[in-house]
Structure 1
Amino acid sequence: MPQLNPSPWFFIMIASWFTFSMIIQPKLLSFITMNPPSSKPRIAPSTTPWTWPWT
């Protein structure tokens, strides 16, 4: 059965993963900008307790 012979397909798989991880992925990651950490202090939200009518 020819599909069990990994000789031609293994090289294609390795070449495509190498191309993706070494060439395409750094170019794509350069477009993603990370949000810098905020220097503002975190403010806790003010919450009011809920009164349930059946208790």
Structure 2
Amino acid sequence: MPQLNPNPWFLIMLTSWLTFSLIIQPKLMTFISTNHPTKTPTTTKTTPWPWPWT
């Protein structure tokens, strides 16, 4: 069965994993998140829906 032969695919997997881990991931981690969480959550007062049949 050819899918059990790891000969060509192991090198491709290893190369892609190393490329992601060593090159792409550090570049992505340098971006500063623009969505900073707030310390005090804002709560909004909700009003019940005025159902016409009640």
User: Is TM-score (shorter-chain normalized) higher than 0.5?
Assistant: yes
When the two structures are aligned, how many residues end up with a matched partner? 54
RMSD, aligned CA: 2.5
The verdict on how the C-alpha distance between 1:34 and 1:22 changes in structure 2, with shifts beyond 3 A counting, is: farther
Question: Can you list the C-alpha shifts for 1:1-55, whole angstroms capped at 9, x where unaligned?
Answer: 656432122112112111111221111221252533324x333212223332212
The answer for unaligned runs of 5 or more in structure 2 is none
The answer for unaligned runs of 5 or more in structure 1 is none
Secondary structure, counterpart of 2:11 in structure 1:
helix
Answer with 1 or 2: which has the greater Rg: 1
Q: Tell me the TM-score normalised to structure 1 length.
A: 0.58
Identity of aligned residues (%): 63
Give the structure 1 partner of residue 13 of structure 2: 13
